Structure 1
């Protein structure tokens, strides 16, 4: 293999092959007329042992999808169902993407995570329905921006690993067409969705459901439920507790980031608690719970302020699916933890982004409420608000100022311009590419976002569940 790994060693681990006969369909990638490497996430490529490829080798792997050594012999399109805007759809699955490879970011016996390389825009599959299986270059650029900013803001997110322009002209109703095409590869902590479990429940495949639960517990390990929780030793109940913990933290992370995902269907929910599958996302221009990202979300189902509710509802659909293996009461008990876990995560992350010491939960929730009022009254965007108050630097203002002044600063003020991704800025970056093939604004924006991430430091970890 012509990979001269830099950084960590390459550790292939195609664990999904044990489930593939009933979980996925082997597929072939599209034959693209061109393969122009536009984006390489060399930071993460180095972390998983794929950092030494030149552009020709990179294109061979991430545009033509020649197999990686010791990995999947052929890409797999995963099968799943899902609720789409609360309407159940059994006619889903990977329609323009597939699982290309699995590998670890460390030795398995030392806690190295199983990671997936999955695609978007790699061609048609048995689940494409009437779609062309392609991705626009603009969609790929938007995903680079979203994942980089979310990573900088401490959100558990997939990473945009590769973007290659493919030389096709695409027709789209939501972009000026014809528009340029691309194939994207994302690095993520698994592609098992809530909809994956829903499909098995729909088909009453209880043996496969038990195997899938076991796979998830083994590959995405987490804490046991709290002492005294009913069904604490049942695998399905353990998994639901872990997913509830992860998605409660994810909902809080989005809210503190001022991020609106846009399409929180159950087929877009990864059981590892990782944000992914970016479509009509937006960053808030001002603190507005009713702000929506998707132009087709006419009822505001997935509005900014309803995202925690949406993730809780999706956890409920996982619980319904797991009824194939477990009784209702212990699953309901797991779901009831979502609200308190969300509040704790919101308080913890708010204090982190403000750069002040956390306090008691009631005090921190008062801080959150006061900060929200302050953002509404000041009309500042969340990015500008948090930057202004980082480390308690802004003059005290009202109830919010009094609370912040009483807290110990634990982080230095941000001594750099704070990048934003409001829609006008995203369009500016794209216009340079679309009109002049100028990638400098994108590269400059990513550099600024990564500088922000270094200045903020890692987000706080969730409090450990009692053994």
Structure 2
């Protein structure tokens, strides 16, 4: 995959301690590269808590040298930045070569517990994989990814995280001129199903890639044999299926619509990645689609588990030669691993819904869950607000629930719910408190996020910073954030769309 890189960027010691294990182990899947020059870098936001967790000094990141690294204009002295190659199925169609068209993997940092984290720059300029694109990004989408990824982390959902956003001082042309920006993204790794789809076409790369992924994300499996009925690659497939089933269940539990669930956006680590056309629900709607490019609703809310399972089938196909030398046996083994997805997803979703409803038994009657979802769908009840309102119902305040579901339609279901709760023998107030610990008050409401991004693009970061503060404390109701808790006006939601930002 390598090609001639541009002349080396200037180096900096503002960030140090990098390793480059992926590039060293799998050089054919990388191309050494450098970021574009940055006319006028300005640090817009930096994640001090994440920097500390990575062993970085926030003060160093805020210096001119630190900002130069975070913008891609300079490289750490001990890093070898690369653009990585991968393939992918995008909306069901196979693209044999995609790769980092506007990103650079700077290298890997280790935290205090020895865990390895990628640092990648997004929007740092064109690479050999840009496919005609300019390789740049703009302020709005990069701040969107920063805020939404940090909100997901605060909700306890596995996700890539954001270290910083730097404005570049370069105009980037989309519908018109917009201010350019670079996001520094932190991930357990950037290995994707699409990485395996590319490696599967190169027989000498598949085993090293699989062994690298196992060592990095599932080290307990590394001791298993490389062949036989219980080989490590079959266990690896099963482990990825389990993590991804758990992940998509968590998305569904918070009303998150990813929007672009292509195989190149399905991670081997089980983290959420790529926050371009994503959105959170206001009114519950299984057919909710926000992405401007998802014309057929392939990645609508209710289809997310099926879409994820389809992606995992593509992953399983890449591993067939490692599962067994006998094709029929390999297919049987892969099929068996994939069939566990549905059970795993249902188990995670059911347990999550039980907690949201104050029921500790993960074997809660699924009918009770399904009837609530039907009520919410039929009456367009606010997803996030309904569960907090149910807690207030237990505290003796019916008004919040009556605002989202009329009493005459909710009463029969409420009676069955209260009957289920009574079996716990726990005071209602205690159950309400438990519910509040898993049901957020604040999510990145679409109208609030759009308003904050417009203001930030115009130079006013205050609304963004206020919303970021709220969504990173999602369970703590505060009077000063009361205007951040409600859904968008119907006039906003009716035509709302999200975009990839490319």
Mapped partners of 2:305, 2:31: distance in 1 = 33
User: 1:371 aligns to what?
Assistant: 372
C-alpha displacement of 1:333: 0.9
Q: Among 403, 419, 426, which residue is 2:417 paired with? A: 403
Q: Does 1:449 align with 2:471?
A: yes
C-alpha displacement of 1:76: 0.9
Q: Does 1:422 align with 2:414?
A: no
TM-score (norm 2): 0.80
Unaligned runs of 5+ residues in structure 2 are 1-11, 324-329, 399-409, 478-502
User: 1:302 aligns to what?
Assistant: 299
Rg (Cα) greater in structure:
2
SS at match of 1:385: helix
Q: Does 1:26 align with 2:32?
A: yes
C-alpha displacement of 1:255: 0.5
C-alpha displacement of 1:377: 4.4
User: 2:387 aligns to what?
Assistant: 386
SS at match of 1:61: helix
Mapped partners of 2:308, 2:128: distance in 1 = 28
C-alpha displacement of 1:222: 6.4
Tell me if the contact between 1:419 and 1:449 (Cα under 8 Å) persists in the aligned partners.
yes
SS at match of 1:101: strand
User: 1:160 aligns to what?
Assistant: 162
User: 1:101 aligns to what?
Assistant: 107
Mapped partners of 1:199, 1:49: distance in 2 = 34
C-alpha displacement of 1:224: 6.0
C-alpha displacement of 1:236: 1.8
User: 1:115 aligns to what?
Assistant: 117
User: 1:258 aligns to what?
Assistant: 255
Tell me if the contact between 1:151 and 1:453 (Cα under 8 Å) persists in the aligned partners.
no
Cα deviation 1:63-99 (Å, max 9, x = unaligned): 13544464x3x21111110001101001311100021
SS at match of 1:324: helix
Tell me if the contact between 1:374 and 1:400 (Cα under 8 Å) persists in the aligned partners.
no
Bigger mean CA deviation after superposition, 273-282 or 146-155: 146-155
SS at match of 1:31: coil
Mapped partners of 1:185, 1:317: distance in 2 = 29
Tell me if the contact between 1:262 and 1:302 (Cα under 8 Å) persists in the aligned partners.
yes
Q: Does 1:63 align with 2:36?
A: no
What is the 5 A alignment of 1:40-51? Answer: 40-51=46-57
C-alpha displacement of 1:360: 4.2
User: 2:487 aligns to what?
Assistant: none
User: 1:275 aligns to what?
Assistant: 272
Tell me if the contact between 2:122 and 2:137 (Cα under 8 Å) persists in the aligned partners.
yes
C-alpha displacement of 1:250: 1.0
What is the 5 A alignment of 1:289-328? Answer: 289-326=286-323, 327-328=330-331
Cα deviation 1:219-249 (Å, max 9, x = unaligned): 1026669xxxx96631221111011001101
Tell me if the contact between 2:104 and 2:122 (Cα under 8 Å) persists in the aligned partners.
yes
User: 2:350 aligns to what?
Assistant: 347
Mapped partners of 2:365, 2:69: distance in 1 = 48
Q: 1:20 to 1:34 in 2, by over 3 A?
A: farther
User: 1:194 aligns to what?
Assistant: 193
TM-score (norm 1): 0.86
What is the 5 A alignment of 1:140-219? Answer: 140-173=142-175, 177-201=176-200, 203=201, 205-219=202-216
Mapped partners of 1:284, 1:247: distance in 2 = 21
User: 2:88 aligns to what?
Assistant: 82
Mapped partners of 1:147, 1:52: distance in 2 = 20
Q: 1:232 to 1:158 in 2, by over 3 A?
A: farther
SS at match of 1:168: strand
Bigger mean CA deviation after superposition, 34-43 or 445-454: 445-454
C-alpha displacement of 1:413: 6.0
Q: 1:401 to 1:222 in 2, by over 3 A?
A: farther
C-alpha displacement of 1:284: 1.0
Unaligned runs of 5+ residues in structure 1 are 5-9, 456-467
Q: 1:288 to 1:307 in 2, by over 3 A?
A: same
C-alpha displacement of 1:22: 1.2
Cα deviation 1:284-323 (Å, max 9, x = unaligned): 1211111112112111101011000010000000011111
Give the number of aligned pairs.
433
